[in-house]
Amino acid sequence: MRERSETKARMDLLDRKILIELQDDASQSLDDIARKVGSSKTPVWNRIRKLKDAGVIRRQTVVLDPAAVGLDTCFFVLIRTSEHEAGWQQRFLAALQSRPEVLEAHRLAGEIDYIVKLRVSDARAYDAFYQALIAEVKIYNVTALLSMEELKSTTILPV
């Protein structure tokens, strides 16, 4: 349950079938999973343990309805900066990590340097994030894209 495999793990068809089932519903019993993937309890149990140990399975979690917990508003923020020293990036990263409304952040290739995905209660909460961010690190240009409708959202990777 520990390693972060930077490289592709060796997996056979049975492993993939198990991952499909677990991604679909991690609350299923071993018996159910074993039946669906055409195997039996012990091998499935051993393989799940291996997939966790190898870091293929990172965590087991529940997915919440954002609206039900008051996080109706989703922004994608495109960020350009003129600063590229280590110190700047470190402070920027720390700011993103410390803010729970930041669900995702990527460093990009090309003209736009970063994209950040936010879930907040309303536009005011976005502005609070924005003000706090520019107070902490110097930013050249920001474009906020406001989601009007979530057409698709899944955590399921096509294994």
Residue numbers at the binding site for DNA (CB under 7 A): 14, 29-31, 39-43, 45-47
Both tokens assigned to 139: 């930013």
CA angle 115, 117, 120 (to 5 degrees): 145
- Closest to 48 (Cα-Cα) out of 79, 82, 21: 21
By the rule CB under 8 A, 158 interacts with a second copy? yes
Using CB under 8 A, pick the residue from 128, 132, 134, 146 that binds a second copy.
Answer: 146
Query: By CB under 8 A, which span of 36-44, 80-88, 110-118, 128-136 interacts with a second copy?
Result: 110-118
Q: Please, which residue, 43 or 70, has the CB nearer to DNA?
A: 43
Of 20, 43, 12, 17, nearest in space to 30 by CA = 43
φ, ψ for residue 81 (rounded to 5)? -130, 160
| Interface residue list for a second copy (CB under 8 A) | 4-9, 11, 19, 22-27, 54-71, 74, 76, 93, 96-97, 100-110, 112, 114-115, 119, 145-159
